[in-house]
Structure 1
């Protein structure tokens, strides 16, 4: 895999328009359930290209490396934002899958109700459009290889809570990686509860029979050992199986992982498909996102595994409030989150990833 500094010498005096190599191109979907939705295609010039859905919290839908799709897309795909899909499990009606869907900003987990209000599955933010603040294009002729798109997404109402997500998605020409930098700021005059989860969804051909699911840490089944069929000691739950009859309809399982971190505080998880010679490594800060969920749903025609870094173990706001783990952001204060997803194709890089997550 060539790196940006070596490729850059070839670009000089040969490229008129940076889009010949890579960059950011915005447009609007004009057909189907997503009609009117703003998107941005980002092309890194390495074979990695991905679609940012500006009107859906700047989440990432389609993502490809060369001819290989990385993300799982639901039957519905991209839909126009529906901010009042916030009751019960209505969130699923507009869940397009995609490489990453953001959950939060004040609740993550199943629907619940208490004296503090009613909260639907996984919160409100993914049905909220962004106000674009900037788009910075690369300029290979001057040596500027960085590109980014920054937007502001709000979860707000009078009397609070009023949280603002300032998201920057960036990439570098010649490097097959995606960087997400999020800042969550409380714009209200009272403290706000805060929960956040990044719902990364991987599908075929990256996720396929024999693909290794990579993570390391203490884990437990979300709904208890007595209800687990996949996440049991002795089972090979880190290898993607063939589609399962037991996962038709709503069949699924989730493991909650207290993910390990290296000496730099970085946690790493991912997938490795040896048949494709391709791995995806997802890196984030343990201090920022101490938990990881591994969602496995191997239904026929609905075949997906999710790796989901989060602030809480899918506990929901009520449980987090009860056990004292609920985060509160004071007025004017904020919290930052940094994630990087990198595509690996060189044998040495893949071996290093496997060693990091202690795959045997």
Structure 2
């Protein structure tokens, strides 16, 4: 069979579901709901089913972050004890953010500050900013229609970080995919709606947990690295340690125990970076792909406490050093009035 005949054959191949489904939801799609119980009561959510075994929950009222995520029977995400609470927009001082940190597959940090609490002549900023505690205005939900050949699914919303006299940043987020593909795509556009230059700091806090994360799971990233508090203070991220393999829970990480490494990720010839996790015991790998020109930094958070067993893999515009230190280092990004920056990431579930 020549190449032309192969193309013709592929075009004539009919899907197995043709003439056999009454409703597109039999294959997948988007189901919206409102939680009616617990700490997350009142949160608007959407369950997205890709029809491949990959399904995940988007929390509209928490910056369109992603909470639970599964591939077949396996959970991908770590969830904190409290899970996703109702939004608390005033939790932007000190370490209040930790009270509302649900974990989940994705918690967005920013838009103008990523790091610990700080106060200076430019204002007071709490841990990791306020965008994840801000509800979204949903402007579009696109459902699939397989019979009409429309396999794309997407949700678009607008989340605002704003106050009178500024700053006024706006995040327009689209989470999308296609039926039959085990992929989550995130397209973010951040625009400065104010009339003065405004700092931009953005970090994608991906949080992975059991059973994807288990003893022996490989942590996948490449690049030059530096422990957050320097080599002398590092116990995990030291030359010679196998810190890219998940350990059993460790007593050193009870309570506030943790360790963080800052990575200059290696990109391919197209500028694309790949990171993630691989667990051969369950035959599953999750990859995150992003462009280094948009997100030049990568962070690996490891917290192996008993009952709080999690690792974070976090592409970012800056390491989480805070706005003040980034300013002092002359690394702080500014968006000028009506300037827009875009960020694209893809999360893929792969059987191995």
> Which runs of 5 or more structure 2 residues have no equivalent in the other structure?
1-10
Partner of 2:193: 187
Residues 119-198 of structure 1 mapped to structure 2, 5 A cutoff: 119-198=125-204
Partner of 2:226: 220
Residues 92-111 of structure 1 mapped to structure 2, 5 A cutoff: 92-111=98-117
* Corresponding residue SS for 1:318: helix
Partner of 1:235: 241
Deviations 1:114-152, CA, capped at 9 Å, x for gaps: 100010000010000000000000000011110000000
Partner of 2:313: 307
| 2:208 counterpart (202, 210, 213) | 202
| 2:302 counterpart (296, 301, 326) | 296
Deviations 1:30-55, CA, capped at 9 Å, x for gaps: 00111100000000000000000000
- Once the two structures are TM-superposed, the CA of residue 11 in structure 1 deviates from its matched residue by 2.1
* Corresponding residue SS for 2:15: helix
TM-score for both structures, normalised by structure 2 = 0.96
Q: Distance in 1 between matches of 2:152 and 2:46?
A: 16
* Corresponding residue SS for 2:275: strand
- Once the two structures are TM-superposed, the CA of residue 13 in structure 1 deviates from its matched residue by 1.2
- Once the two structures are TM-superposed, the CA of residue 313 in structure 1 deviates from its matched residue by 1.4
Q: Distance in 2 between matches of 1:190 and 1:102?
A: 24
| 1:26 counterpart (23, 26, 32) | 32
Deviations 1:212-232, CA, capped at 9 Å, x for gaps: 000000001001112110000
Partner of 2:337: 331
* Corresponding residue SS for 2:39: helix
* Corresponding residue SS for 2:84: coil
| 2:68 counterpart (45, 54, 62) | 62
Deviations 1:247-286, CA, capped at 9 Å, x for gaps: 0000000000000100011000000001111100100000
Q: Does 1:254 align with 2:248?
A: no
Cα–Cα, structure 1 residues 7 and 15, in superposed 2: closer, same or farther, change >3 Å?
Answer: farther
Q: Does the 8 Å CA contact 1:273/1:279 hold for their aligned counterparts?
A: yes
Q: Distance in 1 between matches of 2:173 and 2:12?
A: 30
Q: Distance in 1 between matches of 2:78 and 2:12?
A: 33
Q: Distance in 1 between matches of 2:14 and 2:133?
A: 39
| 2:51 counterpart (45, 54, 67) | 45
Q: Does the 8 Å CA contact 1:11/1:140 hold for their aligned counterparts?
A: no
Q: Distance in 1 between matches of 2:302 and 2:288?
A: 17
> Which runs of 5 or more structure 1 residues have no equivalent in the other structure?
348-360
Deviations 1:274-321, CA, capped at 9 Å, x for gaps: 111110010000000000000000000000000000000112100111
- Once the two structures are TM-superposed, the CA of residue 14 in structure 1 deviates from its matched residue by 1.0
Q: Distance in 1 between matches of 2:240 and 2:128?
A: 31
Q: Distance in 1 between matches of 2:319 and 2:169?
A: 21
Q: Distance in 1 between matches of 2:89 and 2:312?
A: 24
- Once the two structures are TM-superposed, the CA of residue 8 in structure 1 deviates from its matched residue by 6.5
- Once the two structures are TM-superposed, the CA of residue 323 in structure 1 deviates from its matched residue by 1.3
Aligned residue pairs total 343
RMSD over aligned Cα atoms: 1.3
| 1:273 counterpart (279, 286, 302) | 279
TM-score for both structures, normalised by structure 1 = 0.94
Q: Does 1:284 align with 2:296?
A: no
Cα–Cα, structure 1 residues 321 and 148, in superposed 2: closer, same or farther, change >3 Å?
Answer: same
* Corresponding residue SS for 2:132: helix
